[in-house]
Amino acid sequence: MKIVGIAACTAGIAHTYIAKEKLSKAAESRGHEIHIETQGLAGTQDALTQQDIDAADIVIIAADIKVNGRERFKDKKIVEVPTSLVVKSPTKLIEKVEQV
């Protein structure tokens, strides 16, 4: 499965990057390709390309704030969760995404 997404927390620092790392490790350990964009005080990093989005089977938005660029995911399955859930249970989230 190809997964893309956005991680963003209120400060745009700690939970953003922890969520990205945990999501990436959990997805890769289960054999999935994943690309997570981060948004926050440092701006947008690792921005998703339209090609990444078009190839994706599902989008995960792990955010505690409003994210920019949601319109890019039109017609895609989207799973939205708070960053705290990703930090606590990344593998369970990926298992749930596999069933969507």
47 is an active site residue: no
Q: Which of 6, 7, 8, 9 is catalytic?
A: 9
- What one-character-per-residue DSSP string does 3-50 give? EEEEEE-SSSSHHHHHHHHHHHHHHHHTT-EEEEEEEETTEEESPPPH
Report the catalytic residues: 9
